[in-house]
Amino acid sequence: MDGKPGPSEERDETGLEAAPVASRERSSDPARPERYGPLDVTRMRKEDGRALIVYSRTERTERTESAESADVPREHQRPGPA
Amino acid sequence: MSELRFNELRGEPVAYAIHRQDRTFLPDRAHCPLDPTRPGEPPTEIPLESFEIVVFDNRFPAFEAPAGAAEVVVYTDDHDASLASLPIERVEALMWVWRHRYQELGAREDVEYVYIFENRGVEVGVTLHHPHGQIYGYPFLPPVPALELAADARLGRCAPCVLLARERADGRRLLFENDAVSAYVPEAARWPYEAHLAMRVHRPSLTDCEPRELRLLAEALLALVRGYDALFERPLPYVMAVHQAPTCAGSPDGHLHVEFYPPLRTAEKLKYLAGSEQGAGTFIGDVLPEEAAEGLREAIERAR
Ligand SMILES: [Zn+2]
Ligand SMILES: [Zn+2]
Ligand SMILES: [Zn+2]
């Protein structure tokens, strides 16, 4: 089970691992969105500490263009060793 | 809390999610936990007044860190929508969400297989009608993907590639195709109206797909589920299973495809898993896949 590249070190941030319960403020004040393909990705934490990810497609009008020029780097292709 | 045991007689793991008995069961319309949170009202699972797609950790997980994951994917804030009623842009966005979750969960050391699925309809045990799917990150390779890898070994190369080529050569069970995806009823379907959507080019997972292929996959998904609802002129219950390459070390191959198992034989009659299916593992059907494909093709045309 070793040798997995990719964003596993972000585990704490995703909240998918046991993490301290976020404050009430945190859940109503999400971090700045990341970009993934045509989507804005905003990570939040529910009051009980569970992770919540909000996906939105803000520029709805440029949908095809934004999908075509998706800023997904090649090294972010499939997980698992090459 | 969940507990994993190994069933020696069948050679397969069984998971016990012991709190699941208390989970929300078909709450009334005004108390849907997947609705947006309305101002001045108690928060639902989603503390936002509106949203497009959200993913959150299942409150009653069958798997959780450090031994897997269980997530809920809510497709829309519209309680009365369904996958079939969503606009293509939303379904395309959903493909990107699936891709993102596959990538992120698959990178975790404790996730060997990322399984995206949807249960639709009370007939398959749905407890919430709000349009949503789920993702399990299994801390082991589950039996069905393991069988598909065994099929690769038996056929000497990628089984979905081989089967897709056979279906295209035969043609009788093909439902439709676009530039990236073929839809067909498999030659030996287990469910009466089972259908598979397969990427025509060998793509192990969503992360190997070009943006245009994700769009075309979304179009194919919509065409199929709209056709399903037209088949018996009622919302058709189904289990939707997205199969991709496992994410365990040693990285076995895979071929992205989506399987649908609707449990209905007719508008009213359910196909039950009974003696032969459960005790012997052999499905007995009463609709030939060629006939099912014909009916389904017409329904898909009507729904377009
Ligand atoms: Zn709802
Ligand atoms: Zn293949
Ligand atoms: Zn499959």
Ligand 1 center to A25 CA (angstroms): 25
State mean pLDDT over B257-284: 95
Chain A residue with minimal CA distance to B90? A57
Of B8-12, B18-22, B25-29, B206-210, the range with the lowest mean pLDDT is B18-22
> Dihedrals φ, ψ of B146, to 5°?
-65, -40
Question: Is the previous residue joined to B43 through a cis bond, with omega within 30 degrees of 0?
Answer: no
Checking if the pLDDT of A5 tops 70, the result is no
State mean pLDDT over B240-264: 94
pLDDT at A30: 54
Q: Which ligand is nearest to the Cα of residue B261, counting in written order?
A: 3
Of the partner residues B93, B96, B251, the one whose CB lies closest to the CB of residue A81: B251
Domain edges within chain B:
24-303
Checking if the pLDDT of A19 tops 50, the result is no
Write the pLDDT tens digit of every residue in B161-196.
Answer: 999 999 999 999 999 999 999 999 999 999 999 999
Q: Per the CB < 8 Å rule, is A36 touching B100? A: yes
Q: Which ligand is nearest to the Cα of residue B194, counting in written order?
A: 3
Write the pLDDT tens digit of every residue in B66-116.
Answer: 999 999 999 999 999 999 999 999 999 999 999 999 999 999 999 999 999
Of B100, B104, B95, B48, nearest to B75 (Cα)?
A: B95
Write the pLDDT tens digit of every residue in B13-35.
Answer: 999 987 755 666 667 777 899 99
How many Cβ pairs closer than 8 A exist between chain A and B? 136
**DSSP class per residue in B170-207:** H-TTEEEE-SSEEEE--TT-SSTT-EEEEESS--SSGG
Q: Which of A34, A42, A55 to mutate to test the interface with B (most CBs of B within 10 A)?
A: A55
Q: Which of B56, B60, B95, B97 to mutate to test the interface with A (most CBs of A within 10 A)?
A: B56
Percent of the residues in chain B that have a pLDDT greater than 70, as a whole number:
97
Of B41-45, B94-98, B109-113, B235-239, the range with the lowest mean pLDDT is B41-45
Question: Among all chains, which residue has been given the structure tokens 């519209």?
Answer: B78
pTM given for the model? 0.86
Write the pLDDT tens digit of every residue in A20-75.
Answer: 333 333 444 456 789 999 999 999 999 899 999 999 996 544 444 444 444 444 33
Number of other CB atoms surrounding residue B205 within 10 Å: 27
Number of DSSP helices (H) and strands (E) in chain B, helices first = 5, 11
Of B38, B30, B117, B33, nearest to B70 (Cα)?
A: B117
pLDDT at B247: 96
Percent of the residues in chain B that have a pLDDT greater than 90, as a whole number:
90
Distance from C-alpha of B87 to C-alpha of B82, rounded to nearest angstrom: 10
- Here the tokens at position A73 are 């780097």
Chain B residue with minimal CA distance to A9? B108
Which residue type does B60 have? F
- Here the tokens at position B42 are 């108690």
Confidence of residue B143 (pLDDT cuts 50, 70, 90): very high
Whole-complex ipTM = 0.94
pLDDT at A15: 33
Beta-carbon contacts of residue B111 (< 8 Å; ≥ 6 apart): B68, B69, B105, B137, B138, B139, B247
Of B22-31, B150-159, B225-234, B271-280, the range with the lowest mean pLDDT is B22-31
pLDDT at A16: 35
pLDDT at A78: 44
Into which CATH architecture does domain B24-303 fall?
2-Layer Sandwich (3.30)
Looking at mean pLDDT, say which of A57-66, A73-82, B121-130, B196-205 comes out highest. Answer: B196-205
**What mean pLDDT, rounded, does chain B reach?**
95
